[in-house]
Structure 1
Amino acid sequence: MKSKIDSQSVAKDILPYNTTSLCPECIKIINATVYEEDGKVMIKKTCEEHGEFVEVYWGDAEMFRKAYKFAHDGPGIENPQIYDAKCPFTCGLCKDHMSQTALLNIVLTNRCDLACWYCFFYAKRAGYVYEPTIDQIREMVRTARSLKPVPANAVQLTGGEPTLREDLVDIIKAIKEEGIDHIQLNTNGIRLALDPELPKKVRLAGCNTVYLSFDGVDEKTNPKNHNEIPKILENCRRAELGIVLVPTVIKGVNDHQLGDIIRFGVDNIDVVRGVNFQPVSLVGSMPRREREKVRITIPDAIKKIEEQTDGEISREDFYPVPSVAPMSHFVEAITGHPQYELTTHWACGMATYVFKENGRMIPITRFIDVEGLFEYLNEKSEVMKSSKIKTIRALKSVIDLRKFVDSSNAPKGFDFAKILFDVLVKHDYSTLGDFHVKALFIGMMHFQDLYNYDIERVKRCEIHYASPDGRIIPFCAFNVIPEIYRDKIQAKYGIPLDEWEKKTGKKLRDDIYRVVKKPRD
């Protein structure tokens, strides 16, 4: 079912609108209303059995309206695995799914070398060890590569802690052999710190990026791996393995350090490629008063970044994920071939790029007319579809990208108009290498929980999980309804703890490097 939201209605204000959600207690599909109250966007729903639930959806209504201007649905999946669709209970992907697989998560293990007080995911509490074989992993990748109109081309290896797999290098090589270009390793980095050869090995095998847990700039906010961070950076530098810092943002815990985290990234921009903030998703049953203590949404975090960077990075610098769709449309119009379209729900994430020059951070929006460029690309896309002009020489005479770049305010040493032309028109990505070394990506992705759940977001999810049973499952179905997806799948394909320990000759407790205790109030 397509969204009830008409993207043309933005002029008359999107809010309020109706959607569907889940009851946080019984997980029944129920109607919900998204509306404005006191400058915030709220979601309200009522279960006949468990009563009314009210939750903040986005912390700023005006930023929500800006994000909504870029709402855009993708072409969906031409060869879905599931036809009898009832979102979010029949994921696989189904015929109603509207977005492609931009990133395929593959869980390598549910073992971990940290024992964190809040985690119910690791093997000991689950009662089994889940570790798919390399052959199973190959089949997962092949399924994702078979998707049409655009096959998956990026994989994230996750866990648990994936570096506990002794065959990690072989897994990376196998995935590369299946035609995946981009592989990133989602890790706490401890093994990368303890074994200086490991970053080199995974880089040579084909890993592009380390997706590194990084919750703060001191031990109090980041007890998991604060002491190992310097060594992780040093070893990844030597291996020329880029890092994306991934802070889970919790109000009252580490939200006062968002600016410091970005500065840390900028100060290490030779190895840190980005910071991807993830506002906390609230797992389990929690009273509203308790949720309000820790809940933070995308605009709340962006406002804190603005405050903590003294306006060097502002709320106006951030754009939602689907805003970049015109770039895909333009390339598709020139090539005649389907392209990746980042068409997540507009409320799922926002991002920007920043550069460092003369000790200051310069967001890309300060010297590129982002909205003007996107509008121009959409217009030219329509023209190019029916045009016979396809050669680079001819396109140079009709495509003028320089008018969207203010070179006087741009960082020195970059010809941004040329970079745009090379990428969009010539499909030459070599110039992007220097861009990514000099620019810091700042992203914001808020995964859902049962209190703020919006099924329309699930239908547009682009971050998916692969399963050994052949299904591909959206993130906010896989993790938010674990009894149907994550836990059920991994229990089915897992091995009981005692059997695993007997088979391997290991003890699960020997994996633990650090116990992370609940902080005192």
Structure 2
Amino acid sequence: MAQLLQIEPKKKKKEEKDLHILRHTQSICPECNRLISAIVYEKDGKVYMTKTCPVHGETEELYFGDYEMYQRFSTYWKDGKGTLAPNVPLERCMCPYNCGLCSNHISHTALANIIVTNRCDLTCWYCFFYVKKGLEGAYVYEPSIEEIVEMVRMLRSERPVPGNSVQITGGEPTLREDLIDIIRAIKAEGIDHIQLNTNGINIALRGPEYAIALRKAGVSNLYLSFDGVTPRTNPKNHWEIPYVLDACRKANLGIVLVPTVIKSVNDHELGLIIRFAQRNMDIVRAVNFQPVSLTGRLTKTEREKYRITIPDCIHRIEEQTNGEITADDWFPVPSCTPLSDFIQFITRKPKYELSIHFACGAGTYVFVDKESNKLVPITKFVDIKGLIEFLDEEIDEIKSGKPGALSVAKFLFKFNSFIDKSKEPKGLNFGKLITDIIVYNSYEAVGQLQLKSLFLGMMHFQDKYNQDEERLQRCDIHYLTPDLRIIPFCSFNVIPEFYRDRIQQKYGIPVPEWEKSVGRKLEDGLYRGTLRRGKHHPNCGCDLAKQNGNGDNKADQLPGCACSVIHSSKTGQAAISS
């Protein structure tokens, strides 16, 4: 173990003189998890990482698919508050081997994941998480409500910013029969925002009553898996998604669509996914694209086939939306820290700082012009760059104690100067909405802003090939565990043998023992495609592909999908033979 944890000293290589080096960092060997030096560098307009293990040799990996975007995003690099309640003493810290959080960690928790089960009713080919029967050492992991409450209390004890946002995840959380009780227990601990990560199948099957029960218990929104608008790209829940939308409309429960983006699989439908969200903006609040993390052992050829990065997705969206959303409309997540600093100033309370690494995530807001029905990014009528620079300068003056510090009135007056009313979408008064939210704390204005806008996000979680310690130490999406640790996402899942698998084995039940205790087989919980027979739903999304000229006839002919019949019928519905 001592050899495993040894940090390799940086060694100057002759090859380095030929590289356009952007920075040095540390990473791990994808074979043995040894901590080694890594170089992030530019080549042919893209950003790569190279690292060499003394045992397993060199690994070169695409890190960020656009050098110019990397440079622009890097200007927003911010360090966060960290946490003043570290669970790992500093003398024991050796990233990434004993996360917990430790005092090396630069960002506090923005979103805490609680795994309520690792069982799932699907077996998606790219998923790394659900319990797989037949594997040696397979365990069912389902913490008790009492254990979950203790985890949440640990989150709430963080300082200076007590955690107040939780994602209930799995596996598939809706397989827990006591899920409503779990949600209530989490809410009772002072959690303001509860997000339910789900494939939506049980919500589609159980209907609006279940969605209403989830909302009343405390769920703020669904984080809904959605990989494309056709059965070819989204076979897991293509037929069920419209019923989830129907149920959530009746429950007034907002939805975030979450596509896992895989090169050569569904990256040609990113624009259509946004169009689908636009069609359903009354209930869809956001789309959060997640470029796939490549887990397991893959050859370089295999990785190149599937690897896609944030800039690659952004450029595809520009192309697939006919330029309505351009690459320049996106900003890295930490660019919003000046705004959170300002809110902290006016409220006199510590606030969230989304201080993740600039290469981890990006986002933008889009609105719909009522006359043209086109998408209008916020950057088209608000000078976001100028606003960020203004806030940065004012916050620096506040911190230095300079007289005439920024006031709410001064901010609002100046804010309106960054809005170009002539380019504002028809039917939108953005300045008034922001004024009502900040000055009057208007929940109605917040609701109006949500209904009029669609957030588009990117979040690229790491894997062993592109793992970067500088990113890891700034991660603000964490896992809560029964041993009361708070573990960064990209430690928990990137090195599962140290974290995820070890924890689930320690606190889980062997599959045979679980099956005996509940009187059924693990595979009995698999979804059998009930909604893929009978009446097909007209809001499935396939028509968007047809209208765009990207219809896949083979996909339309997959078993259970009658899209080709539906969209040529007068009624908009057709019976599907079983």
Using structure 1 for the length normalisation, give the TM-score. Answer: 0.93
Cα deviation for residue 362 of structure 1 reads 0.3
Structure 1 residue 101 corresponds to structure 2 residue 133: no
| 1:182 corresponds to | 193
Q: 1:353 to 1:120 in 2, by over 3 A?
A: closer
| 2:166 corresponds to | 155
My pick for the range that moved more, 424-433 or 371-380, is: 424-433
| 2:287 corresponds to | 275
Q: Which has the higher contact order (CA 8 A, sep 6+)?
A: 1
Cα deviation for residue 505 of structure 1 reads 2.3
Q: Determine the C-alpha separation between the residues in 2 that align with 1:44 and 1:189.
A: 40
Structure 1 stretches lacking a partner, 5+ long: 5-13
| 2:307 corresponds to | 295
Structure 1 residue 168 corresponds to structure 2 residue 176: no
**AA paired with 1:44?**
T
Structure 1 residue 410 corresponds to structure 2 residue 421: no
Q: 1:120 to 1:384 in 2, by over 3 A?
A: closer
Q: Determine the C-alpha separation between the residues in 2 that align with 1:297 and 1:116.
A: 21
- Alignment check: 8 A CA contact 2:193 2:219 kept: yes
Question: Deviations along 1:368-414, whole A, 9 cap, x unmatched?
Answer: 1001111111222234453788998x735985211011112112333
Task: After TM superposition, list the pairs within 5 Å mapping 1:253-264 onto structure 2.
Answer: 253-264=265-276
Secondary structure, aligned partner of 1:56: strand
Question: Deviations along 1:152-190, whole A, 9 cap, x unmatched?
Answer: 111001000000000111111111100001111101100
Q: Determine the C-alpha separation between the residues in 1 that align with 2:367 and 2:477.
A: 27
Q: Determine the C-alpha separation between the residues in 2 that align with 1:414 and 1:256.
A: 31
Match of 2:388 among 361, 366, 374: 374
Cα deviation for residue 514 of structure 1 reads 4.3
Task: After TM superposition, list the pairs within 5 Å mapping 1:223-238 onto structure 2.
Answer: 223-238=235-250
Secondary structure, aligned partner of 2:421: coil
Q: Determine the C-alpha separation between the residues in 2 that align with 1:102 and 1:79.
A: 15
Task: After TM superposition, list the pairs within 5 Å mapping 1:340-351 onto structure 2.
Answer: 340-351=352-363
Secondary structure, aligned partner of 2:478: strand
| 2:38 corresponds to | 32
Q: 1:388 to 1:146 in 2, by over 3 A?
A: farther
Cα deviation for residue 334 of structure 1 reads 2.3
- Alignment check: 8 A CA contact 1:215 1:246 kept: yes
Question: Deviations along 1:420-462, whole A, 9 cap, x unmatched?
Answer: 3444566555422111111111101100000011011000000
Q: 1:162 to 1:201 in 2, by over 3 A?
A: same
Match of 1:42 among 36, 48, 51: 48
Task: After TM superposition, list the pairs within 5 Å mapping 1:296-311 onto structure 2.
Answer: 296-311=308-323
Q: 1:248 to 1:318 in 2, by over 3 A?
A: same
| 2:264 corresponds to | 252
| 1:284 corresponds to | 296
Q: Determine the C-alpha separation between the residues in 2 that align with 1:118 and 1:259.
A: 22
Q: Determine the C-alpha separation between the residues in 2 that align with 1:120 and 1:91.
A: 20
Cα deviation for residue 104 of structure 1 reads 0.3
Q: RMSD of the TM alignment (CA)?
A: 2.2
| 1:122 corresponds to | 130
Structure 1 residue 212 corresponds to structure 2 residue 218: no
**AA paired with 2:97?**
F
Secondary structure, aligned partner of 1:116: coil
- Alignment check: 8 A CA contact 1:331 1:425 kept: no
Q: Determine the C-alpha separation between the residues in 1 that align with 2:21 and 2:196.
A: 39
- Alignment check: 8 A CA contact 1:303 1:315 kept: yes
Q: Determine the C-alpha separation between the residues in 2 that align with 1:35 and 1:119.
A: 30
- Alignment check: 8 A CA contact 1:114 1:514 kept: no
Question: Deviations along 1:450-507, whole A, 9 cap, x unmatched?
Answer: 0011011000000000000000000000001000000100110001222222222232
| 1:485 corresponds to | 499
Q: Determine the C-alpha separation between the residues in 1 that align with 2:158 and 2:264.
A: 42
- Alignment check: 8 A CA contact 2:87 2:101 kept: yes
- Alignment check: 8 A CA contact 2:128 2:295 kept: no
Q: Determine the C-alpha separation between the residues in 1 that align with 2:365 and 2:411.
A: 29
- Alignment check: 8 A CA contact 1:334 1:384 kept: no
Q: 1:89 to 1:435 in 2, by over 3 A?
A: same
| 2:576 corresponds to | none
Q: Determine the C-alpha separation between the residues in 2 that align with 1:170 and 1:50.
A: 49
Secondary structure, aligned partner of 2:182: helix
Q: Determine the C-alpha separation between the residues in 1 that align with 2:102 and 2:52.
A: 27
Match of 1:73 among 70, 79, 92: 79
**AA paired with 2:88?**
I
Q: 1:398 to 1:249 in 2, by over 3 A?
A: closer
Task: After TM superposition, list the pairs within 5 Å mapping 1:399-478 onto structure 2.
Answer: 399-424=413-438, 428=442, 430-478=444-492
My pick for the range that moved more, 377-386 or 484-493, is: 377-386
% of aligned pairs identical? 57
My pick for the range that moved more, 476-485 or 492-501, is: 492-501
Task: After TM superposition, list the pairs within 5 Å mapping 1:78-93 onto structure 2.
Answer: 78-83=84-89, 84-93=92-101
My pick for the range that moved more, 408-417 or 17-26, is: 408-417
- Alignment check: 8 A CA contact 2:394 2:405 kept: no
- Alignment check: 8 A CA contact 1:185 1:209 kept: yes
| 1:312 corresponds to | 324
| 1:8 corresponds to | none
Cα deviation for residue 118 of structure 1 reads 4.0
Q: 1:229 to 1:398 in 2, by over 3 A?
A: closer
Q: Determine the C-alpha separation between the residues in 2 that align with 1:218 and 1:152.
A: 38
Secondary structure, aligned partner of 2:414: coil
| 1:11 corresponds to | none
My pick for the range that moved more, 297-306 or 349-358, is: 349-358
Q: Determine the C-alpha separation between the residues in 2 that align with 1:502 and 1:76.
A: 45
Structure 2 stretches lacking a partner, 5+ long: 1-6, 11-19, 530-554, 559-578
- Alignment check: 8 A CA contact 1:349 1:444 kept: yes
Q: Determine the C-alpha separation between the residues in 2 that align with 1:244 and 1:446.
A: 16
**AA paired with 1:130?**
Y
Cα deviation for residue 233 of structure 1 reads 0.7
**AA paired with 2:428?**
F
Q: 1:477 to 1:380 in 2, by over 3 A?
A: same
Q: 1:30 to 1:423 in 2, by over 3 A?
A: farther
| 1:61 corresponds to | 67
